[in-house]
Structure 1
Amino acid sequence: MRVSDDSPDDPPWAMQLVARSEKAAPPAHSAVCAPAATAVVRLLTDPRAADPEGEWHERVHHWESHRIRKVTRRARGVRWPEAQALPGVTVDEDGAEVRAFVPGPVTEVPPELAKLQVAGLDLADDEEPKPPPEPPYAAIALNPDVPMTTGKAAAQSGHAAQLLLRQADPARVAAWIEGGLRVHIARDVPWRRCVEQATVAVRDAGFTEVPPGTMTAIGWIVTA
């Protein structure tokens, strides 16, 4: 099992994630985590990031060479279309919209994002877990023994998807990409048994909400 990179980064860089959460109709907790994870990997596989000549490549490469830090913010009203104007990738599914932005220094967050709230994105979950999609897809499970806000859980889901993209079996990754990089948040799985079988595990650096070294999420790719 592989874990996330904890190498130093000074000044720290982060990928900003923004979830749309309107007061009148907020999305469910797990519904945010899935598109957050998908947005991360779709940005990383976008030619603008994946191609060495792409306009995002240098920034993405610098960020991935250090800690894969992510910050989740929330937007509502006019703030959401304002954020859409910045470079990134948006995923809209199951009533939730999340945009992943090209990474950069945390000291240079664009004003359109800096004014968006980081704390406070903590949503209720659906009563019934959603069934998985048809394979191929990435299954991500969040540690049921570690309480996390929606913002934290979305970032951890993004970490797990990114580690799968970079570290899982190449044939499985290729099938996942070909299938559209779908992500399923597995809520009804036996956590301890899945930990033994997971391809990647995310261990948190401990900057927010949980102690350092906490295993927050695991992931694996389902192809059949």
Structure 2
Amino acid sequence: MPEPHPVFADPGFRSRHGVLAGGYGHRDDPDDPSAVLAMPLVLHIPKAEPPARSALLEAVAVATVALCLDPRVGAGEDGGPGEWQDAFLAWNDARIRKVSRRARGAQWRAVQEIDGVTVDRGGAQARALVPGPVGDLDPRIARLQIGGTDLPHDDPVDAPAGVPVLWVNAALGMTVGKAAAQVGHASMLLAGALDVDSARAWAATGFRCAVRDADPGRWSELAVGVEEGAGVAVRDAGFTEVEPGSMTVIATVS
């Protein structure tokens, strides 16, 4: 008899999934702005050969949800607490803020030494890092640029059947950094919305997903689907780029 996929044999997965299923934002922001918690997302954007925008956003989405369900953020394979558990749970209990930064060359190599998860999708690479206070960043993260770099919209082929799709609201004109944070939100919200067996099955695929732009017509259809329970929507707090309450990404499972 073949061995089960490791994620199905992981006794701590149910507990970690339960954290995502339980939602977030249960605690008010601290009075000290520097104590606000955020998950850094590092986008590998080389100057000479930058990745396709959609592939990079897929890498970000996968890296985010992979970190959120990693044994190190909760009950591990041995049932004991993971080394990233306290930091992750503190962040998940607050607003799920994410801050995207770009890296290339030596900067990208340096961030591989910081706790997190790196994902490569078709040569596009992103790393989700363990959350922490925005005022106490590792210098290797703090020196990375937040804005100033964007990628052109591409036109990838239709998403494969059966693969979750994270639809980005094209009308909002989000930069790649803003869109990265939003698809990161979407992937973890989708995982939490799935029942634990479906989440396990998704994890067994390596959290395979597709990111696609939705034009106004498709977006309207997707928004109706959200109201009918056929999708999970990200509504942004409006700190940057978009108006508060804007629906930025809708995740669907065909």
- Per the normalisation by structure 2, the TM-score is 0.80
Instruction: Give the aligned partner of residue 43 of structure 2.
Output: 19
- Note the residue ranges of structure 1 that are not aligned, 5 or more in a row: none
Residue aligned with 1:54, SS: coil
Residue aligned with 1:213, SS: coil
Residue aligned with 2:105, SS: coil
Instruction: Give the aligned partner of residue 141 of structure 1.
Output: 167
Percent identical: 44
1:175 aligns with 2:195: no
1:104 aligns with 2:104: no
Instruction: Give the aligned partner of residue 13 of structure 2.
Output: none
Residue aligned with 1:112, SS: helix
Residue aligned with 2:101, SS: strand
Instruction: Give the aligned partner of residue 204 of structure 1.
Output: 236
Using the TM superposition, give the Cα deviation of residue 62 of structure 1 relative to its aligned residue in structure 2, in angstroms: 0.7
1:40 aligns with 2:72: no
- In the alignment, the residues of structure 2 paired with residue 130 and residue 113 of structure 1 have an alpha-carbon distance, to the nearest angstrom, of 34
1:84 aligns with 2:116: no
Using the TM superposition, give the Cα deviation of residue 158 of structure 1 relative to its aligned residue in structure 2, in angstroms: 0.2
**Does the Cα contact within 8 Å between 2:45 and 2:104 map onto a contact in 1?**
yes
**Does the Cα contact within 8 Å between 1:35 and 1:97 map onto a contact in 2?**
yes
Residue aligned with 2:164, SS: strand
**Does the Cα contact within 8 Å between 2:170 and 2:214 map onto a contact in 1?**
no
Q: CA RMSD in A?
A: 1.9
Answer with 1 or 2: which has the greater Rg.
2
- Note the residue ranges of structure 2 that are not aligned, 5 or more in a row: 1-22
- In the alignment, the residues of structure 2 paired with residue 148 and residue 6 of structure 1 have an alpha-carbon distance, to the nearest angstrom, of 27
Using the TM superposition, give the Cα deviation of residue 166 of structure 1 relative to its aligned residue in structure 2, in angstroms: 1.4
- Give the length in aligned residue pairs: 218
- In the alignment, the residues of structure 1 paired with residue 110 and residue 56 of structure 2 have an alpha-carbon distance, to the nearest angstrom, of 19
Instruction: Give the aligned partner of residue 90 of structure 2.
Output: 62
- AA matched with 2:43: A
Using the TM superposition, give the Cα deviation of residue 6 of structure 1 relative to its aligned residue in structure 2, in angstroms: 8.3
Q: Which runs of 4+ in 1 moved over 6 A?
A: none
- AA matched with 1:9: D
**Does the Cα contact within 8 Å between 1:139 and 1:183 map onto a contact in 2?**
yes
- Per the normalisation by structure 1, the TM-score is 0.90
- In the alignment, the residues of structure 1 paired with residue 210 and residue 26 of structure 2 have an alpha-carbon distance, to the nearest angstrom, of 26
